[in-house]
Amino acid sequence: MPHRFAHVCLSCRISLKLAPYGEAGEERDHRCPRCRGALVCAGDAFEAPARRDVDGWRVVGALLAAGVDFRQACCGCGPGYRPRTLREVRERTELARRTGQPLARALTTP
């Protein structure tokens, strides 16, 4: 059985575990079963917020837009630090702007 990753639709606020590659090794283009929009691969250690948690999904959207995913670390201890609130995202975005460091790095620094 192939390894499965979480794929999310931010507009519908759903998460599905799907195989990212086909049998021949080609990358699959997954679509949302509700809106038929493209799904974004979030990684194998992604834990989706509740569908009614709009702010939680906004945090997930900000992380994915910055290029941060939720892939398991090589030691199996999880993806590392990720902000959980919009306030933390705003603080780290401001830090990245002030210091000039990449946004993805600022978002993953505890």
Does the pLDDT of residue 77 top 70, yes or no? Answer: no
Residue 74, pLDDT score: 56
pLDDT in tens, 8-51: 999 999 999 988 766 655 667 889 999 999 999 898 888 999 99
- Read off the pLDDT band of 61 (50, 70, 90): very high
User: What's the predicted TM-score (pTM) here?
Assistant: 0.81
Q: Are strands 5-9 and 40-43 parallel, antiparallel or unpaired?
A: antiparallel
Q: Which long-range contacts (CB under 8 A, 24 or more apart) does 92-95 make?
A: 93/62
> Can you give the length of the chain in residues?
110
Q: How many domains does the chain have?
A: 1
Give the number of other CB atoms < 10 A from CB of residue 110. 6
**Residue % of the chain over a pLDDT of 90:** 58
One-letter amino acid at 82 equals R
- Domain residues for the domain of 24 are 5-107
